Structure 1
């Protein structure tokens, strides 16, 4: 429904994280957000599989929610039945940075870091050996973790900050 800015889940569970939606329903809702007005600023087109989202420990869904809730300004863009978000480059950089800093405030499990960097355990351990990332010495529960601050510094070094 356009008036309430919501879409109906395909399943009937009341647990939000288990609800399933048809992303094609967003095509109708994109009219609510309006068309992009050319401001002269550089813009980025972010798709669901954009590596910047992974590297900054966030997701397309979180970006979509931020645009939809008007936390940040962006526009939905459809091409070849795929949804993308068009957003000002500096707005995207600021949002990604805030997402990354929030995630890196604590330790990160190794599997999340490997997924974010699209690498395996051997590459991750080589980054630790080279001093680019720092492992947590001891973790209750036995899961290997990376110090969040070291991951933050590593990602910022990749971006040239």
Structure 2
């Protein structure tokens, strides 16, 4: 596995340990050797090995809960020392065609009550070099061996994260 893939899977397992119904979590991704050079105490506290090619995830302050994640991401611009970023967020998936019946009033509440809904946790990571990887866990299949992963699982969210790096 490549470093970003390893990190995204590791982050998903870490976030899964806190259970469901969690707030979104944003991470700055930095190269491990750079973290050791610039913040050696932090690198040691986090247990990040000083290995070339290895990435470290630094959790950022909590995102505002009163704004959509896409709006929050649109206002973020990472400094040059950040190699990438990752986001852990929960979403509701609806069966195919369900959106056709979605009301204009309270669509979020309607989706939350839909009998065919599926809760998912997404962890999406992107790097400045264009690399991206995602992991997705379904609440109904909540085990590490059932986590799906790949570079294009959540392309719109990956694009929104990539825009924070430009």
The answer, yes or no, to whether TM exceeds 0.5 is no
- TM-score after normalising by structure 1: 0.24
In proportion to residue count, which structure has more helix?
A: 1
- TM-score after normalising by structure 2: 0.24
Return the structure number with greater relative CO, CA threshold 8 A, min gap 6: 2
Task: Give the number of the structure whose alpha-carbon radius of gyration is greater.
Answer: 1
